[in-house]
Each structure stands twice: as C-alpha cells, then as structure tokens.
C-alpha cells in the first residue's frame, strides 16, 4: 500500500466533514430473497465450517511436513559439523533443533498466537459471525451451528497466525545459519535446501490464504443479503479495522473507496491540501502537525497490518511455482479434433480426443488421452457416419517462448471398423505413431485456452495402410 495513499486518506477525513448514507429499507422489504435468509445463512455457516476445517488441516499438515524436513536436515548438518568442530555443532544446532521440535509439538495443541486483523476475507468473515450473535430472527435454528463455526474460525485464525510466526522464525533462523556457517566449507547445498524449504513453505501458506478467499456461491449470496440489512452495515462501520484505527465517524468508513481513489501521488495530495487551506501560514502549520499525526498512524497501521509493508523475499534459486500446487490443481483437462482427408479435399475421418495433462513445471506438462475415430464418408456425394477406430495417446508439452510450445508423444490407434469389442484385443490391428511438432496456445476465456498443434509422425510410412505424416489438431484446455 502506497504511503501517500494512506496519508492522503487521513488528510481527506481530517479536513472534510462527515457524510452520511441511508439505506432503502423499503427496497429490502420488497426483496423476496430476504425471506430466504435463515436457510441461506444456515448453508453459509455450513460452507464456512467445512472450509475452515479443511484449511486448518492443510495448514497443519504442511507446517508439520516442513518442520520434519528442517529437523532432519539440521541433524545431518550437525553430524557433519561435529566431525570438524563439536563445540560449534552443539552451539549451532542443539537449541535450534529443540526449538523446531517444540514448534512441531505445538501443532497438536490449540494455538495461543493472537490473530492480527489485516486479511480482508477473514476480517469480513469474523465480523459477519459476530454480528449474527443474538440475531435469532435471522438464524432461527442455527444458533448452535453459529457457536461451532465461530470457534472453528477463531481456531483457523490462530493456525494461520501460528504459521506466520513459524514462517518468520524459519526465515530468521536461515539467515543466522548462513552467517554462522560461513567459516566452514561444504554447507552451501544444505543452506540452499533450507532456503528452498523456507521459500516454498511461505508460498504454500500464501496459496492457502488465496484459496480461502475463493468464495462459494452460498457465501457470496449470504454476504449480498447481509449488506442489505441496515443493522449489519452499522455494525461493520463501527467495528471494522479502519474505523478502530482511524477513529472515523460511522459513515466515513463507507466512503473509503471513494476517498482513497485517485490519491496515490504526492502532487495530487498537495493540490487537495492547497485547495482546502490556501496560503495561510497558521493553516500550513496545523497541516504539518496533522501530517506528523498521519505518519504516526501510518506506523501503527504497518504494525497492525504487517503484510502491507513487507515485500516478498527474493529466493536465491529459480523457484518452481508448481511446488505449492496440489495434485488436482496441477491437472489440466482438454481435448482436440483432427481431420484426415483422402486424396480429395473431403475429410474422410475425424479424430475426436479427450486428454488429461499434469503440470510438472510452469512451462511443461505431460499427460494421457484417448481418441475416437469417426468416419464421415467417402465424398461430398456420399456422407456417412461410421465407427472407424479408437486410439490411446501420451504427450508432453514444453514452452519454448511466449505462447509457442514443443509438443510430442506416442500413440496407438486401431484404424479398422469396429464391429465387436473383442477386435481390440488383437494388437496386430493397432498402428503406432511417434509424433513431434509445435503448438500455439491462445487465451479464449479466463478458464479456457485454445491451441493449434502441428505434428509430424515419424512412423507414418511404416504403417499399413500408409497414413499421412502431417497432423493438424485444434484443441482446448481448461485451467
């Protein structure tokens, strides 16, 4: 967050009158969906409960895995250093291994680390749950569920705060080891492993937080309806982190977006101040005092929201972003179509394929697929649909530059008309293909990419009957 943005935000509210915004209660009464709030809130609580439970389990599992690896790595380093300098080995690693072990044991108990506000999703979630306490007309029979969900969310906040604390400890300890082991040779690769472990753990926690913010349909709808309730909006205005930090009026928080927008530069801030105070020396002195106050509050903001002022640590290696993705997140589902023509221009067959790819790197993937060969007839005057065969595929994809990829793979195709399933058991009827070529990928939508693949079949001339060695495929992939 730009410092001048925050200071200008403070100045606007220090120098401008408080504005109020009303809520159209008649519109709320006319909204038929408001009658569905109790049932919707029940689903909302269920979704939040499931998400927070799953997230706690993932954070705990990943943290435990990281700590186990670090303990194992440091024990190896201690044994090697012991042969050279037993005193240094004991001083460097005994306490750190004990500290890591205590952190590992602490994962089994309820976290005692206090959560600091600053995450927009968790803050909104926390405020919505606190607002619903005592709202019997909205919850109906979900009061018990609310108590459980509130406790679960509080536990999740503690786990995330604990993870941030462990992340900070690992980063600090890594730097200490780097300095203390500098006089000794042979530990560069060990430090590199710890550096990678620390980096990927940090990225994984950030990935979990990103997934946590992905709202489900029930969450989005519940928040939409809650925002139509005047009491909820009043609660947010009075209890939001910005209201507590800046001590603003009840309606001032509602105008944060409008006030902050367009105030990112020093010149714009000075123009606004000049318009409001003119050239009076006394006024300028007062503004100077208020700027000092703004800087003080900015420092408080950085302390309460540490992530706003911290830049991501640059790794000392080339990281693989896929390391923080789960197996399912690495899968890409897609398909393609390929036409095979006879000696004339009419396509006699069409290969329709589906495939699943696994991204082992941000630039590469491997996968398998299956195809169905659909016969289209022998010419424009003889169009006939028939079953002409099946195929099994394997492929690999690697980015060369920009949207250009090298593509290759091996395939087996059964190219005879299928009249009964037992025919497929005869491997003499299958033809092999060894393919290599290039592909061009392009964006279709946010979640779908198209591709054009041009391949050469090195085994085409060995097949009987001989097939065309050039294959052009048009496809798509869902992210």
**pLDDT tens by residue, 243-298:** 555 454 444 444 443 444 443 455 555 666 666 666 666 666 666 677 677 666 66
User: In the 8-state DSSP scheme, what is residue 184?
Assistant: S
What is the structure's pLDDT at 46? 87
Q: What are phi and psi of 367, to 5 degrees?
A: -170, 180
- Contacts of 363 by beta carbon, 8 Å cutoff, 6+ apart: 398, 399
* Cβ neighbourhood burial of 205 (10 Å; 0-12, 13-18, 19+): buried
Q: Which two tokens stand for residue 331?
A: 């899968």
Rounded CA-CA distance 435/394 in Å is 10
Q: Which two tokens stand for residue 54?
A: 């799953």
Rounded CA-CA distance 134/145 in Å is 13
Q: What is the pLDDT of residues 46-82, one digit of tens each?
A: 888 898 999 999 999 999 999 999 999 999 999 999 9
Q: Collect the ranges in the chain with pLDDT lower than 50.
A: 1-2, 4-29, 246, 248-264, 305-312, 343, 345-346
Omega cis (within 30) before 465: yes
Helix axes 230-239, 120-132, angle to 10 degrees: 120
- Contacts of 204 by beta carbon, 8 Å cutoff, 6+ apart: 62, 323, 324
Distances (CA, A) of 49 to 43, 52, 150, 221, 317: 10, 5, 9, 16, 38
Q: Give residue 378's region: left, alpha or beta (phi > 0; psi -120 to 50).
A: alpha
The H or E element containing residue 227 is none
Q: Which two tokens stand for residue 138?
A: 């909205």
Contact 417, 444 (CB under 8 A): no
What is the CB-side half-sphere exposure of residue 309 using CA atoms within 13 A? 11
Rounded CA-CA distance 241/78 in Å is 46
Any idea what the Cα angle at residue 33 is, between residues 31 and 37, rounded to 5°? 120
Residues making up the chain, counted from first to last: 479
Reported pTM:
0.66
Number of other residues whose CB lies within 10 A of the CB of residue 247: 10
Helix axes 281-304, 3-15, angle to 10 degrees: 130
Rounded CA-CA distance 433/413 in Å is 8
What is the structure's pLDDT at 117? 61
Contact 73, 193 (CB under 8 A): yes
What is the CB-side half-sphere exposure of residue 255 using CA atoms within 13 A? 17
Helix axes 86-106, 143-180, angle to 10 degrees: 170
- Contacts of 162 by beta carbon, 8 Å cutoff, 6+ apart: 63, 106, 107, 111, 113
The H or E element containing residue 291 is helix 281-304
Rounded CA-CA distance 51/31 in Å is 29
Tell which residue, 78, 3, 86, 465, has the closest CA to residue 269: 3
Rg of the chain over CA atoms, in angstroms?
Answer: 31
């Amino acid at each position: 967050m730009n410092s001048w943005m925050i200071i200008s935000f403070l100045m606007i509210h220090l120098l401008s009158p408080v504005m109020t915004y009303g809520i159209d209660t008649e519109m709320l009464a006319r909204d038929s969906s408001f009658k569905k709030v109790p049932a919707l809130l029940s689903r909302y609580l269920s979704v939040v409960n499931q998400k927070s439970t799953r997230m706690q389990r993932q954070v705990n599992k990943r943290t435990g895995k990281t700590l186990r690896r670090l303990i194992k790595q440091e024990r190896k380093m201690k044994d090697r250093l012991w042969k050279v300098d037993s005193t240094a080995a004991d001083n460097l690693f005994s306490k750190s291994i004990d500290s890591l072990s205590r952190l590992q044991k602490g994962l089994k108990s309820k976290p005692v680390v206090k959560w600091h506000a600053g995450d927009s999703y968790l803050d909104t979630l926390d405020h919505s749950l606190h607002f619903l306490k005592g709202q019997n007309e909205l919850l109906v029979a979900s009061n018990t569920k609310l108590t459980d969900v509130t406790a679960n969310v509080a536990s999740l906040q503690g786990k995330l705060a604990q993870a941030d604390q462990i992340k900070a400890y690992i980063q600090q300890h890594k730097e200490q080891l780097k300095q203390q082991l500098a006089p000794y040779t042979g530990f560069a690769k060990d430090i590199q492993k710890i550096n990678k472990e620390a980096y990927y753990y940090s990225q994984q926690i950030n990935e979990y937080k990103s997934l946590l913010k992905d709202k489900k349909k029930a969450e989005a709808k519940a928040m939409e309806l809650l925002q139509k309730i005047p009491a909820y909006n009043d609660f947010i205005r009075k209890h939001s982190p910005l209201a507590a930090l800046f001590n603003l009026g009840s309606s001032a928080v509602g105008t944060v977006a409008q006030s902050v927008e367009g105030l990112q530069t020093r010149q714009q801030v000075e123009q606004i101040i000049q318009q409001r105070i003119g050239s009076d020396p006394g006024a300028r002195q007062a503004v100077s005092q208020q700027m000092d106050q703004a800087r003080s509050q900015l420092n408080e903001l950085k302390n309460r929201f540490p992530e706003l002022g911290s830049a991501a640590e640059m790794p000392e290696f080339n990281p693989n972003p896929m390391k923080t993705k789960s197996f399912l997140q690495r899968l890409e589902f897609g398909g393609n179509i390929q036409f095979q023509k006879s000696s004339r221009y009419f396509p006699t067959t069409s290969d329709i394929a589906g495939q699943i790819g696994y991204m082992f790197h941000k630039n590469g993937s491997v996968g398998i697929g299956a195809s169905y060969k659909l016969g289209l007839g022998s010419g424009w005057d003889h169009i006939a649909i028939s079953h002409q065969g099946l195929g099994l595929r394997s492929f690999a994809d690697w980015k060369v530059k920009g949207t250009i990829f090298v593509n290759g793979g091996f395939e087996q195709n059964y190219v005879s008309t299928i009249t009964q399933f037992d025919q497929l058991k005869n491997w003499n009827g299958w033809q092999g293909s060894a393919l290599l070529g290039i592909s061009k990928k392009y964006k279709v939508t946010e979640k779908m990419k198209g591709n054009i693949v041009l391949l050469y079949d090195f085994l085409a001339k060995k097949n009987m009957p001989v097939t065309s060695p050039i294959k052009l495929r048009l496809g798509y992939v869902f992210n």
